[in-house]
Amino acid sequence: MKNLKFSLYILLCTFIIAIGFSSCSKVLDKAENLSQYPPDGVFNDLAQSNAYLANLYGSSLPNSWPLNDGNSADESGGITGPDAITVNSSRIFWPYDVIRKLNIFINTIPTGTLADANKSNLVAQAKFLRAFLYFKTLVYYGGVPIIKEAQGINDELKVPRNSTAECFTFIEGDLNEAEAALPPKYSGNDRGRIDQATVKAFRGRVLLYKASPQFNSANPYDNQYWAAAYQANSDAKTFLDANGYGLLDNYSNVFTVKGNQECIMSVIGLNPGKVNLRGDDAVRPLSESKNATGGDQPIWALVQAYPMLDGKKITDPTSAYTYNEQSFWLNRDPRFAQTIVYNGAPFALSGKAGRRQYTMKNVASSLDAFGFAIQGESAYRTGFFTSKGLNLALPAPPTTSDYDWNEIRYAEVLFNLAESANETGHSNESQAVLIAIRKRAGILPGSDGLYGLKGGMSRAEMRTAILDEKYVEFAFEGKRYWDLRRHRLFATKLNGIHKYGMMATTVNGRTADQVNPTDISNAAAYTLLPENFGYTVTELITSGPTTMVVPDTYYFFPIPLDYINQNPNLKQNIAWGGTFNPEL
């Protein structure tokens, strides 16, 4: 069975992530569990070594879209309450069990009998995975223990934390070593494996964080690390451009066309072995799905954030288009209609041609109505759904979408370059990135060719423009909360805010209690249009807190007490009663 598709190999070998090599039958015949310490000889067999590594891919990388991550930010409807993060709950990431398995692999493969080229390639992939895990842990807590060997029962297990600087150096070292032994780009049957393109793009992300205000609160935008971040992201873009990557012409296709030119690091979906990575059933309105759905519901703040068709903000009096709250969907950035589903909007789920989504009480299905509690008032509605990344053709309830999750896409590299360029005196490159993003989106260029952007922006204005653009470009892709955290903007953007939706309160001048049979039949025939309704901005209805609580202590999460109790050499972060400084 040679040259199996990367994802098919993993399915046949009962692992999670895709990888394509030969003779997986040998692995299936093994009685031993290869997720544990392997028996002698396993790493002398290429197929078994790849199977072990495949399992580590599945344990190290995200398995799906970051569903409802926007609840913690200003994207979707959840509320972060006063006890969202404590010293023993939420935002816990401590992957040392997987790191131990990676260390086994990294240290044992070189001693085996595989060909040297195979050894170096396998170790390189594993070192990237180790760097990926250490980076996420570092972003959570600051410096953590660096462990390069597989600890045994006779080893000293109570290891202290390394400094944040030491951790960044370790991660960069793993990435440098990985890049040197990997091919420039995997494609075809090998798509999904770590290659040089992945390493370069990810290094840009790592160094952007290293330079960020999160790790440099005393000198957030003039520290020494910004130059390295700019160089890494500039190099990444040059390399990606030379290897066929770039912005895809159609924004929606980025999420629905597998292996397109914007996909740099993808978690591969495969029907039937690994499906519904988007969580289609959890995002669709309940009328077209099952159980507790309606995840990633946009809030009014996100809806307002999309510019007009000429790229101007909805509040900008110089826009060629007049914004009206009662027709908020008209003449907007084309990404709006490709992301936001509003009352009366086309939403052809389950193959229902011409289907429209309604959210008004007594017009919509009661399962979808805003302000009408079916599952208790804690089941909030915002009056919006999202279509981003969904397979609309699937029947209800959807279970078989095999769209990939793109952990890194080309547009992220562009934004990382724009940020680092702006902080190092290359704002012309930042502007070029924003123009490219807006041009691809379908925003009109305007007579000045700036696509609605202000000319001659200051450094601070450009910084804000980049974050504003990324807010809409990456909606529901798990970026917003971490971008605000990285820039230390919780106090100005999240802490103390309330979240709102848009309720359709009238149809053809009639309130919900006055809805007549004609309205109901027109809704069933999908002939009621958004302009047939009247709208009211309404605070979300929940049974819990209504005010977001996101204090500055959340810039670094606490080491859970369970881990400190097991290892007294772990010092707690300063903001959580300890002595460890998680910054650089």
Distance between first and last Cα of the chain: 50
Task: Report whether 390 contacts 282 (CB < 8 A).
Answer: no
Mean pLDDT score, 223-238: 98
Instruction: State the Cα–Cα distance between residues 584 and 434, nearest whole angstrom.
Output: 30
Q: Which amino acid is at 61?
A: L
Answer whether residue 35 shows pLDDT above 60: no
Binned at pLDDT 50, 70 and 90, residue 544 comes out as confident
Residue-wise pLDDT for 394-429, tens only, equals 999 898 999 999 999 999 999 999 999 999 999 999
pTM: 0.94
Burial category of 97 from C-beta neighbours within 10 Å (exposed 0-12, middle 13-18, buried 19 and up): exposed
Alpha carbons 34 and 10: distance in angstroms, whole number: 13
The answer to whether 536 and 383 have CB atoms below 8 angstroms apart is no
pLDDT at 379: 61
List strand residue ranges (DSSP E) for 189-347, in order: 263-267, 340-341, 345-346
- What are the extents of the domains in the chain? 280-403+497-539
Structure confidence at residue 24 (pLDDT): 36
pLDDT at 155 over 90: no
- For residue 37, name the pLDDT band (cuts at 50, 70, 90): low
DSSP 572: P
* Cα separation, 485 vs 479, whole angstroms: 10
The answer for residues whose C-beta is within 8 angstroms of residue 250's C-beta and 6 or more apart is: none
| Coil/strand/helix, residue 36 | coil
Of 406, 472, 416, the residue nearest 237 (C-alpha): 416
Is the pLDDT at 8 greater than 60, yes or no?
no
Q: How far apart are CA 515 and CA 531, in angstroms?
A: 16
Query: Is there a contact between 466 and 483 (Cβ–Cβ < 8 Å)?
Result: no
| pLDDT band with cut points at 50, 70 and 90 for residue 41 | confident
Task: From 268, 277, 195, 284, select the one nearest 236 (Cα to Cα).
Answer: 195
Q: How many CA atoms lie within 13 A of 11 on its CB side?
A: 13
The pLDDT value given to residue 154:
61
Model confidence band, residue 150 (pLDDT cutoffs 50, 70, 90): confident
Distance of CA 362 to the CA centre of its chain: 36
**Which uninterrupted H or E stretch holds 276?**
none
Cα separation, 425 vs 445, in Å, equals 25
SS3 of 100, please? helix
